[in-house]
Amino acid sequence: MTEKLAFLGLGLMGGFMAGNLAKKGFTVNAWNRTPNRPGITVAQEAGAKVLPSIETAVIDADIIFTCVGDVPDINDVIFGKNGIINYAKEGSLIVDFSTIGTDAARDISSQLETKNIRFLDAPISGGDIGAKQGTLTIMVGGEKKDFDQCLPYFNAMGKTIIYCGSVGNGQAVKMCNQALCAVHMVALCEALMMAEKQNIDPNLMIEVCRTGAAGSWALTNLGPKIVASDLQPGFAVKHLLKDLRLVQEIMANANSELPGVTLAEDFLKIVSNLDQGEGKEQGTQAMIRYYNQQNNP
Amino acid sequence: MTEKLAFLGLGLMGGFMAGNLAKKGFTVNAWNRTPNRPGITVAQEAGAKVLPSIETAVIDADIIFTCVGDVPDINDVIFGKNGIINYAKEGSLIVDFSTIGTDAARDISSQLETKNIRFLDAPISGGDIGAKQGTLTIMVGGEKKDFDQCLPYFNAMGKTIIYCGSVGNGQAVKMCNQALCAVHMVALCEALMMAEKQNIDPNLMIEVCRTGAAGSWALTNLGPKIVASDLQPGFAVKHLLKDLRLVQEIMANANSELPGVTLAEDFLKIVSNLDQGEGKEQGTQAMIRYYNQQNNP
């Protein structure tokens, strides 16, 4: 049996992901809230059929993928006036790639259960490059049989596909992932400051340190971008700040603090306010602007 | 011509390194300040000749490798009453693997110049595993021709051998390396705290995050050790604290601050004082003890 797929949310990531599904020969009906976005063209050119409404995209879908922004967005797409819930087939499966936190994922799942719609939370990591190349890491929470049903589709979009347990657990692992990314950026910026203050070629420093016990994905991939003053977003400051807010909520509920994450969040907030608030649209490597400001006032 | 090598300092790292030189067929006369240490046996069994004094080890050496602890140690080994300077051949070359900071390295180099002895600073990264397997990263500062002369020996001990420019520059890059390692440990501990507070299997978290944009050497190699409560030193807290003191000196001289490094240093200091001061002998992954103390008082 050929399952029919819907894909809602053709942003920087979603466009490539829907496209990769289509390229593998799957039938993909896609939709995006805002028209004329680059991701729509990417999905379309790869063979996805872009439709004008959620209704037309999901009406006969067996599996509905969603890749939107924050909690209000996914709630609107699923439960809003023209949301999925009004049109989806009974027994269908919604798979959400957004990063929305464990509580929101579990809340959505129980609401959908009453409508006999299944739900997986499946946040992703790997940035636009990973989405384009189909090498994303996908962290999945929910029923194991639903995960198994989606494996062929996950494999079309990602390289590391990991079942994390019950619903919300994908989000929980993603929170750890974001905490690591944020603090690794602090490490990278401080190593670059040290290189600068010691008159060491920063690319030499990166070349040396990346191969040993100081290595990280950030150092290898974002270090050279900072050196080249390339602050284009692979992942934007505003998105990491949104995720760090979720991280802080989780830890506050557990009466715990993460001083390293808090430091990273403080610096990113400062950067996000630069350029009349346009700093938030830059990539997370723009954290270096905080350090430059502090050290070369 | 076969050059004669001396190797002074057969600690956790030095023993393996001298042994790897001997295994490649080079003639190695070795010495260690304190007798009956495991590194001595390692070097001896690999074919190095262990001698009772600096004098007997270096008297006919063309190249003298040193791998000791801090600035006073290397100063004593080179310039002390029974130090290298009293016995080394004119024109010989001292290569120091210790992490002592840029100023000390440059100071040693100029003192040796007046005695017609050459000097390279060549700090290493990769821990005891890297020393054992001969996969160290070696960062070298000094004259390029001296570096070239040592390449066959460096290749016997390490995998990534990089010439960093004039004397002291190896140390400068190593300082960046240590800053990265320290802050990556903060990231790792905080991700593990998040996994704990969210009831996520920490090994699952590591497995997922290590493959993507959150990956680091620390996460892959030290994460599982923390999960297994293995705090044995690959690199001891006291050694990282010594290096971070040098990092802070450099930044203070440049009127700069590294808030992430300072955080890591604060936590490591607290851990080093645990167990009546024995905490400092544990591996740097013992930073988790600070977090455990804070979160499970």
| In chain A, alpha helices (H) | 14-23, 38-45, 54-58, 71-79, 102-113, 127-133, 144-157, 169-197, 202-209, 217-221, 223-227, 237-253, 259-272, 274-277, 288-295
| Cα–Cα distance, B96 to A145 (Å, whole number) | 59
Mean pLDDT over residues A43-68, rounded? Answer: 97
pLDDT in tens, chain B (297 residues): 589 999 999 998 999 999 999 999 999 999 999 999 999 999 999 999 999 999 999 999 999 999 998 899 999 999 999 999 999 999 999 999 999 999 999 999 999 999 999 999 999 998 888 999 999 999 999 999 999 999 999 999 999 999 999 999 999 999 999 999 999 999 999 999 999 999 999 999 999 999 889 999 999 999 999 999 999 998 899 999 999 999 999 999 999 999 999 999 999 999 999 999 999 999 999 999 999 999 876
Which candidate from B179, B181, B294 shows the least CB-CB separation from A194?
A: B179
Domains of chain A in start order, with CATH, are: 5-166 (3.40.50.720), 172-295 (1.10.1040.10)
Residue B154's SS3 state is helix
**Cβ–Cβ below 8 Å for B184 and A187:** yes
pLDDT by residue (tens digit) across A165-178?
A: 999 999 999 999 99
Average pLDDT, chain A: 96
Question: What is the interface size between A and B, counted as CB pairs within 8 Å?
Answer: 239
Give the mutation candidate from B154, B169, B175, B176 for the A interface (greatest A CB count, under 10 A): B176
Mean pLDDT over residues A58-75, rounded? Answer: 95
| Cα–Cα distance, B293 to A277 (Å, whole number) | 39
ipTM for the complex shown: 0.92
Give the pLDDT confidence score for residue A69 in this predicted structure: 84
pLDDT by residue (tens digit) across A192-225?
A: 999 999 999 999 999 999 988 999 999 999 999 9
Give the pLDDT confidence score for residue A126 in this predicted structure: 86
Chain B residues whose beta carbon lies within 8 Å of the beta carbon of residue A250: 194, 197-198
Q: Are A28 and A61 in contact (CB under 8 A)?
A: no
Give the pLDDT confidence score for residue B197 in this predicted structure: 95
Give the pLDDT confidence score for residue B1 in this predicted structure: 57
**Cβ–Cβ below 8 Å for B209 and A184:** no
How far is C-alpha B143 from the geometric centre of its chain's CA atoms? Answer: 21
**Cβ–Cβ below 8 Å for A257 and B294:** yes
Which candidate from B209, B259, B295 shows the least CB-CB separation from A263?
A: B259
pTM of the model: 0.92
**Tokens representing A198?**
């010691």
Nearest CA in chain B to A284: B213
| Cα–Cα distance, A75 to A73 (Å, whole number) | 5
The conformational region for residue B37 under phi > 0 = left, psi -120 to 50 = alpha, else beta, is: beta
Catalytic residue positions of B? 174
| Cα–Cα distance, B253 to A197 (Å, whole number) | 9
Measure A170 CA to nearest chain B CA, in Å: 10
Q: Please report which confidence band the pLDDT of residue A234 belongs to, taking 50, 70 and 90 as the band edges.
A: confident
What type of residue sits at position B108?
I
